[in-house]
Every structure is written in structure tokens, then in C-alpha cells.
Structure 1
């Protein structure tokens, strides 16, 4: 695999929190825990747009025997205080409630989305659109708006996001006519369905999407199966991008031959090539607290995306610790590359990823190599 360009394009140091949607709305100092997992698309003017997830966290979350988290309410933002004796704070991203009988979390940060305009090749930042930032507005977004994925279908842009709240962990849809001004359309996938990627084009007149429903129970394949039980990438179709029916046939599943994809989920929205739909997705090898995240590639049939034309068990992108070394004082995770966008760059593909849940990475890959 020939990498023509590989660099961090946007980091926590590039965010002006004085222009954050939270600025002046909470009585506490904050910092940027991460500026990462960006949606990617090309604007009408030819420039690229990153829709960057900004995870804004409290500078001093623990005080007076309590750990605090930010939550949006109908009146603004508030700080919740949890007694330290009742929670586990080992993971810097979340607060785990003890003794609940099942897994219950609060988050150490609240996420909002920042549109960052790049030059046509994604090599430099052209403009940061703070005036078009997307902050939580609905009750089902009270812990934040996370991990946008952007697809252009016809003349309309569609952006799926993960909405986080005690009500549900769901997928919400935004739409736009120019990729800068977005309208919240509401929930399109319900509880514990993440990484929804809408195909960048219709199939048989319908919208299609990759989905990833989660749970803590999976049924075993037979001992000699080529597949491994666990989270997989499923498919759904829709007449209008709002109402989705799960597809009967399975999509991409963890392969028994490798532990590198023991857990998997969607990456970049699939784009159509001359041989079929190119799908970039993430596989997770169990290791440490969160595992090792890598990017993989699969080619899907252009008329039936449940059919795999070709796939590669070798990783397309690996975590790049050399890129984050200048930010080592900000690192709280390692071994994570989480690809979230793919656009055509002529003789190359331009790939956007979150690196180490910290910064935005742009990688140029030769099209010939992805064949």
C-alpha cells in the first residue's frame, strides 16, 4: 500500500473554546479532550469539509468528593455530581456507575460538531465555521452529538450522528443543501445502533445504509464456521432516508481466521467505484482497555451490497504513533485509527480518520492500490 500523504490536519490545539457553544454557559473551566472522528465531504466550491467531533471536558472534574459531568437540559447546560464512592473513573472518557446490575455510564465530556473547511486536497485548513457549529438541542442528545458520517446522495447531503442520553443511544439524521447549514430530522435508528453509514448513491431507487446494532448477547456460530460471533456490520434500506428496514441477508461479519477483527463496525460511507461499492470499516483486536483499532477494506456488489466482491484481511491503515508524538502530553488512548470519511481525489482516495481519539488525520492512498 502506497501512502502518498499522511498527516494530522486538526488537533485540540486548533480549537478556540471561547467560541464553543458551551462558552459562558457553565460555571467551570473546560478543555478539549479530543477533536476527532470527522465526517468528510466535498463542498460545492471544491474544498473539503471536515465535521469534527469536539469532546469538551471539565478541567477539574473531581472536587469535594464528587466527579462531575456536563449535561444539556432544556434550559442550557448543567453539571451533575456523582459521589466517588459510587462510581469508577478509571477510563478518562466515562464514569461507570457501580452496582447498577448492568452497565450504566455518564460521560466525562460533552461532544459537539465543528465544521472545518480544508483546501481541495485536505492539506491545510481554509476556514473554521464556528458560526455553524452543531450543539445538542434535543433531549436524546443531552450527553452530546458524536461521530458524524456524511454522504452526498443526488443534490442533498445526509449526515448521521450518534446521539447520547439516558433516554437512548441512537442515530440521528441531519440534512443539508450545501453541507454547511444542517437541519436535524430526528432519530432514524433506535437504541444501541451505532456507526450508521448511508451509501453515497441510490441502489434500485432506494437509500441504503450500513448499521451496527450492539448488545451484550450474541449467539454462537457452529464450531467449524468461518465466522466469529459478535458485533457485525448489517444493512438497511429506506425509500426516504428517514424510515429504515433492516435487510434480511447479513452484511460484513467478524472472520474466525483472525482476532484482529474480533469486533468491527462501519468506517466511511461506501462510495461507488467501477467494480462496486468501496467500504472502509474498522476492526478491533482485543488488547488493553479499548483494543487496537485498524481500518480494513471490502468491495461490495453494486446492485446487492450484501454480496462481497472482494475483501482483505490485511489492514489498510494502522494507528500512527509518530503522528501523535508531538501531542504526547494530551494522549489518553493509543493504538486507535478510526476512519470516518472517504472522497475522490482524482488519482487517489482522500481518507479522513480520528487518530487516538484525539485528532483528525488525512491520508492519501493511490486508487490503483485499493483495487
Structure 2
């Protein structure tokens, strides 16, 4: 059967799927009905709870990169990027050039979606064999602990991978807001790739080429309801991202993101209109572990719901994740990561619950388990 294409997007089952997730109830709706709601399924084991005692003893904050300086070739700023990628895996980007009105429209579109009644949101629920749509991901067992959030996942690039049945038609300007925002963040990602390419000893277009014929992009819109006992739950469990790079638009007023740094967790305090970037598993493999993806999580609070927008840039399915030549030295930096197709890695990760950095063990040389 030929794929049906409408407005440049695939309609139906011709778009590849990379995983599936079991359906779970909407946390937002359960809290709407009972603000004291808390079931055993969401209460984390003691060792996994986001308590104050496991926050980093330092007052460190993640690095801040002035994007305007970076794209104008400032060597000091590029060195800051190198340090940020090596020592933190996360950094905040200021002066990035994404218009403030585009950021506000994106946030308004997310808010509008989560304000819809459950009956309307449910029209965009994930199919049984898909990870696009409204629901939850990485739910592989009826018995695992659940995250205190609802999500909406959409593929935005390439256009033919967009499944329009998941795009809310009830919200005026939703598609336009998402397209404007993801177009701008892709430009931002490509400029970061150009600078990291140079830092990795390659020409500036190398990382972009490594993505293969199709550079893909997905967006995840997160909603974290208030919780009567935030000390017992997690908004998102600790994990690293399967992307090349992730760009996160945070709520300006609420700190929810925490990253693993040394022996503890560091809260990432929002800078108004800044965008948070983090290295994904793909760059860890390509860089032979010089730049590592970092474990991160989200916490909740009693007083206010929080929203965020994560944009993932990912390579073509058949791209290999092994180290590039410039990041290997037989004497000082031998091959630490094996070559594996991205699609195999992606499907492997979606078959399991989020568990810190456990998935990246598959990328390590000598580990043959799949």
C-alpha cells in the first residue's frame, strides 16, 4: 500500500516505530479529582527518592554558554563548551537568538494542550505499538514504579515522519507554534554540532553528516502535576538521553530538573528565556566517551504544576554509533565503544524502564548483550 501523505506528513502506519509502552492513567486527571492523590505505584523505593540529603554538597551550577560569542568564533567560549561537555554534560545557553515570542508561543501551546479535558486529550493517546502521542514511555511492566508526569511525544522531522493523528486540531495555532520552535532549536543544535565537531578534531560539518541521510527530531511536552508528597515520588526517573543532543525549554519560575554530578544531584535553576542543552548517548559513543551523556531526573513540588519541552535531535536509523577516528588513539585513548546501529540501540532502550546510565553499557566495547 502506498503511504498517504497530507501536508508533507505520513498518514497511517508507514512511519517506522521504535518502541511501545504500556498505557497508564493520567496523573494530571487523578490529581484534579483528588489533590491528595498518591498511590503505591508512584512511591519510589527509599534509595531512589529525591530527598534533600542526596543533593550535591556543592553550590555549583551548570555552565552557561553565551551562544552569540560561540557562533562568532570566540575561542574562550568554545573552550567553555569543551569543559561543559567533558565535566558536566549539561549547559545553559543564553543569547541563543530564538525569539522570545517563539518561546512564549511554544509554552502557551503546551499549556493549552494540558488544559484540554481528558476526553479530548485521549483522542491523541499513544497506540499500543507506538511512542508518539499522549501517554507515557518506558513503561514495560505492570509492576514497575511510575513517574509523576504526563507527556506528549511528536516527531517533527523529517516532515514525512510526522503522524498528524497525534497533533491536536482543537488548539488553534498549535502546529504553527511547534513548527516555529523546533525550526529554531534545530538551527541551535546544528551550531552546537559545528563547534563540537571542531573540538573533536573534525571539520565543522562532520557531526551533521554523521547523522546520515535523515536528521530526525522529536519533541516531548512534559506536565508535572503538584504532589502532596513530592519527597516520595519522581517526575522523571534518572536516565540519560538516547539523542545526539537534547534542548530543554524550562518553566522560568520552578526548578525541577536535577543532574547527577560527582556524588550528588545538582538542581538546574532556570534562567528566563535560556535553553538547557545536554549531551546524549549518541555523542558519548561517537566521542569514545570523552563527552558523556549525564544522568538526570525531574522532581515535583506541592504548590505548582510544572511544564517543560524537550527537543531531541537524533540520527538516521542505520547510522553507526562507534567512535569516530579522531577520538581514538591506540596508546592514549583506545576504542572504548563498539559500533552498533542506532535503531538497534533505540529499540533496546525502549524495551526497558529508565534506569540511570544502564543502557549505555550496551555501547561499551566487549559487551555483546542486546
Q: TM-score range by the shorter chain?
A: under 0.3
Highest relative contact order (Cα 8 Å, sep 6+), 1 or 2?
2
Instruction: Please state which structure has a larger fraction of its residues in strand.
Output: 1
TM-score by length of 1: 0.26
Instruction: Please state which structure has a larger fraction of its residues in helix.
Output: 2
TM-score by length of 2: 0.26
